[in-house]
Structure 1
Amino acid sequence: MNFLPWVSLFFSTLLATAVAATPSRTATRRGSSSFVGTSGQNFVVNGSTFKYIGTNAYWLPTLNTNDDIWNTLANISSLGIKVVRLWAFNDVDTIPVNGTWFQLVQNGTVSVNNGSNGLQKLDTVIQMAEQQGLYIILSLTNNWFPFNTTSTSIPANNSLTRNYLSNNYGGMDLYVRQFGLETHDQFYTNDSILTSFMNYTTQVVSRYVNSPSIFSYELANDARCNSTLPGSATCTTETITTWHATVAAHIRSIDPNHLVSSGVGGYMCTDCPKLYPLTPPPAPPAPSPAPGKKKRKATPVTNKQIIRERSERKRRNREAAKLAGTLVEDGVRIRGRWVSSATKRQQSETVGSLYDGSYGVDSQDISNIPDIGFSSFQLFPDQQSYGPDDPNIAPWQNTEQNGAQWITTQAQSAAAVGKPAALTGFGLVTQSNAPAFVPFNSTSAPFASDNREMLFEKTTPFEVLSILSANSSTTYGVTSQQQSDTYTTWLNTGIAAGLNGIIQYQWGQSNLTAEPGTSVTPSTTTGEVSTPGSPGQTPTPPEETGESPNDGYSTNGTDTVQQVLGSAVQGIAADS
């Protein structure tokens, strides 16, 4: 990636305007407000510290009845979950016959749907969430939209309806295509697109200025330089940081009551130039941690630290493998001793794309934007490698350990900025969910029974590698027990590291009202057709029900995940 200094005249103006219009750290002053605010590294509500376990239900505004929305929120609330993250965007380029849509983006023009199948559905979710005592994170657009034709059509090799997949709600690439542009990052830099997107955010944000149930406005899900459309050579971390600063300032000018968050995946660039360098005021001596708790780092993450921690973890695994008699030696044997090869040693010194800015994302710089209220990140090992694997432990244990290190690193990065940290989405695909798994930058489920021939037509090398390494047969994914164990480790690690919020991906709900052409299509039939009691009586049709969308992570029918989340609710409450 090109990291040469690049700031266009347009961006220079936008950045100067955003910085000038934004008082430093205004988002931290909330006192005893009923709105969610921040105080240092904590969320606060009504003057009290607020920590939470949450879930993702991006599909909530697309449900076909208000009863379904209410019952879903009630089930979530009953588990002790406090925050729900969902899509506050639903862009189309052709108005659909059925279902929900929020915005029409067509041939460079944009119009917003304020009707009953538009933003009024989002209003309903917000109102019901408030009645259930839940907070909502509203994500305003998506990095992922892997459709080459229109938002209302699905490729021939995919029978899923619109709004079933999390990536089929429009987003950045839909704007780029409909405005006649070519590269993904033009979403961040084109005047016309920026104006249209800010107009949409205005219409969404202005609806909820006085709603205490809004947790935050999330600017974009997993923003980065590239998507289905490639990024240009001029896209750098400064490009995406500047966009976040501009849009965050715009939202705060409309709604000073609520937090703004980024929604990035957490990728860092430890050596990149910063638009918002760390200049923390002198901090008072930190009190000693409570018994059983470690002192949390408040220093920036460095490449040297990452390499050291990986090496130390591998050493511990080797020692454990020696004791168990399962040591896997690597390298060459010299005079009776195993010595790591040069290739292995060189590889171990590379931090990789997570920390070198390859994605055009510097999450620390974004988190340090004054109008960004807290640091956020994601964890999806089926779609991203979070570190080198150790041959001395099982593949799922590598996933568990790499994920735990990613969590602690993110908590440290947020502490260095002096803001709260939240994991806004984590998930691990199980063998039972594998047939439904659709990568965020894809439109097909590679492990579905009718898609076996597509295994080697994936969009990224990592997807191909994951298939080859984890799929010696046609089975993909971890077992339910491995998922449960890993989730428990990640949640406990996050709580111990000081995360203020941890949000699982994704909630699953059954017995939903099904309608053709919507996100919940008829899948099962319950009830029986009644026998006419008298001549001319019309038989009663069976009731058609369906399940919530599932792109490979749904908890539907998975009691163990809900039990793990319930335990985490108690654990994070005790840590408050």
Structure 2
Amino acid sequence: MYVPALWPAVLGALLAFAHAKPTRTVSLSRRAPESPAFVSVEGSDFVVNGAPLKFVGTNAYWLHTLSETDLDKTLADIAAADIKVVRTWAFNNVREIPNEGTWFQMIKNGNITLNEGPNGLQKLDKLVELAEKHGIYLILSLTNNWNPEGADEGTTTGANNTPLPRNSLSNDYGGMDTYIREFGLDTHDLFYTDNSLVSAFKDYASHIAKRYCKSTSVFSWELANDPRCNSTIPSGSCNPKDITRWHADISETIRSVDTNHLISSGAGGFYCADCPKLFPQLPPAPPPQVSPAPGSTANRRRSTRRFLTKAKVLRDRLEARKKTRNAKRNVSGGGVAIRGRWAATATRRQEDFNDVGPGFDGTYGVDSEDILNSPNMDFGSVQYFPDQNNYAPADPNLSPFENIVQQGNEWIQQHAQTAQDFGKPVTLDAFGLVTQQNAPSFVPFNAASAPFGTDAFVTNEQQTQAYESWIDTGLSGGLSGVVQYQWGQEGLTPSAGTPITTTTGSTGIDTPTGATGVSPNDGYSINGVGRQDVVDVIAEGNQRFG
């Protein structure tokens, strides 16, 4: 197995926590797929053709914008890396019909125009067809939380303020705020509650689900990428129950037209500890496993399912700090400050420690436990983007880089526990770190330009170290899948109407004559120096766990 050369010794001690495999439970699936070739759920496992499925996948939101030739090449290269699951966008909304390029829906003045043509949903048809050819399952996301003003018209900019073509960034395919603007609304949270808007989104979601309900290359329907109360349009009076209720409503609509495919949220995994629940009834705890040998601590306690509390978050955090303090007594660490986010003083850290923070207190308007517990949600989702979100106060015993890695592992472990508690699979469906190489191209999800320098980001080697750690923690600890963000593809053909741009000398990529294009980069693409290291970590993760 690949072992990073500069992995700090202390992190080995930090990851020594035992990863007890969740108890297998009776299936809670409400589905009856037509064939075992569809992915289904048994307890907290995915199953396909009668066999458990664990995976390390990748994100490539831009796939449906490619030419057929480039799409076929990209999927072939992904499959060659032992990747079987790809998460991608199944939406492409505009407010005006573009002169060229792909679009699926025009949303204008509260009216919807669906594009069934060769530059519309037929592009998605081809993606589904070629995915089946290459043995790839698609997690298809139906909308995006993020969509800055004008992004769906192609006014975004990348490195050095260079204008980017439409569909270059993950947030310029239209999303929730496109609906908000064109339905004459003024706060982001109305996407979840306005009857006319919800009805319009249901029409799109059910149309897409029905279109591919017979396709075994579709892994699941993801309701939205990172749904939450706030976005590029501010929130009004958003309540976590509003977002949970929306998930229950949309998932029921999809289930009514497609009983073959799984449904998940796509949310970032944020908790709302101690919040009242829309779906408060937990499934019964599974029976204990076979009695352990005398003196063993394994399986000593019966699993007691319960919703997360703030008290438990603080207890777990205190215990983790004790472990790291002991591990660090004779070990010194190094690292870089990620955009200054972890540069707080020791005094401030102690103050922050007494607050569970936005990852757990409902700040984002998301209650992942309540969403997962709703009737038609088959599995849970979580994301980890430390360059954009604050998950916990920094541990003063750790260096900045160690904090990023350790907080990721703790976030993953918490969601693995949620999978066990609710008896459903949970996937880490997007995780990423911006490298110094990618910093000039980094565009946050709620922005339309790339304003950052290079010094405050990780090296390529640190990125690889972190990815290996999170993959191992996730799949050995109880998650059913982890999905890296994002795939980078070279050797493509630049052409008008696609987001494929010409290779520059800075990427370090050699491409065949006549195929000098590279896939889009919003700061997370693995193209360039270090690409093969990330591909190797993904492939080795699949060989170990798949």
Shorter-chain TM-score tier:
0.7 to 0.9
Map 1:137-536 to 2 at 5 A.
137-147=139-149, 149=150, 151-154=152-155, 159-233=163-237, 235-287=238-290, 299-324=306-331, 345-447=350-452, 475-523=455-503
Give the TM-score taking structure 1 as reference length: 0.81
Separation in 1 of the partners of 2:92 and 2:372?
26
Matched residues in 1 for 2:201 and 2:543: separation?
39
Q: Is the 8 A contact 2:177 2:233 kept in 1?
A: yes
- Asked if 1 retains the 8 angstrom alpha-carbon contact of 2:128 and 2:218, the reply is yes
User: Does the Cα contact within 8 Å between 1:265 and 1:378 map onto a contact in 2?
Assistant: yes
Query: d(CA) in 2 for partners of 1:34 and 1:102?
Result: 28
Q: Does the 8 Å contact 1:364/1:414 carry over to 2?
A: no
Amino acid corresponding to residue 304 of structure 1 in structure 2: A
Whether the aligned pair in 2 keeps the contact of 1:264 and 1:378 (CA below 8 Å) is yes
Does the Cα contact within 8 Å between 1:32 and 1:47 map onto a contact in 2?
Answer: no
Is the Cα contact below 8 Å between 1:262 and 1:366 reproduced in 2? yes
Q: Which digits, 9 at most, give the CA deviation of each residue in 1:328-357, with x for residues without a partner?
A: xxxxxxxxxxxx998654432210111111
Q: Deviations over 1:144-178 (max 9, x none)?
A: 0012x462140585511110000000000000001
Q: What TM-score does the superposition give when structure 2 sets the normalisation length?
A: 0.86
Q: Is residue 358–residue 390 contact of structure 2 (8 Å, CA) maintained in 1? A: no
Separation (CA, whole Å) in 2 of partners of 1:554 and 1:72? 14
- Give the C-alpha shift of residue 202 in structure 1: 2.0
- Give the conservation status (yes or no) of the 8 Å contact 1:298–1:412: no
Q: Which runs of 5+ in 1 are unaligned?
A: 1-23, 328-339, 449-473, 526-541
Note the residue ranges of structure 2 that are not aligned, 5 or more in a row.
1-26, 335-344, 506-512
Q: State how far apart, in whole Å, the 1-side matches of 2:109 and 2:132 are.
A: 38
Deviations 1:196-224 (CA, angstroms, capped at 9, x unpaired): 11111122111111111110000000000
Equivalent residue, structure 1, for 2:97: 95
CA change 1:323–1:76 in 2 (3 A) is: same
SS where residue 501 of structure 2 aligns? coil
Count of aligned pairs: 493
- AA aligned to 1:516 is A
Q: CA deviation at 1:37?
A: 0.6
Question: Is 2:137–2:218's contact at 8 Å kept on the other side of the alignment?
Answer: yes
CA apart distance, 1:279:
2.6
Name the aligned partner's letter for residue 154 of structure 1.
T
The letter for the 2-side match of 1:496 is S
Change (3 A) 1:490 1:544: closer
What's the counterpart of residue 532 of structure 2?
559
Percent pairwise identity: 49
Preserved CA contact (<8 Å) 1:326 1:392: no
Quick one: distance in 1 between partners of 2:452 and 2:74?
28
Cα distance in 1 between the residues matched to 2:142 and 2:471: 26
- Distance in 2 of aligned mates of 1:289 and 1:133: 41
In structure 2, the CA distance between the partners of 1:393 and 1:176, relative to structure 1 (3 Å rule), is same
* Contact kept in structure 1, 2:141 and 2:221, CA below 8 Å: yes
Q: State the Cα deviation string for residues 465-503 of structure 1 (Å, max 9, x = none).
A: xxxxxxxxx513111111111111111100121111110
The letter for the 2-side match of 1:549 is P
SS of residue paired to 2:516: strand
- Separation in 2, partners of 1:426, 1:279: 28
SS of equivalent residue, structure 2 residue 537: helix
Letter in 2 for 1:171: G
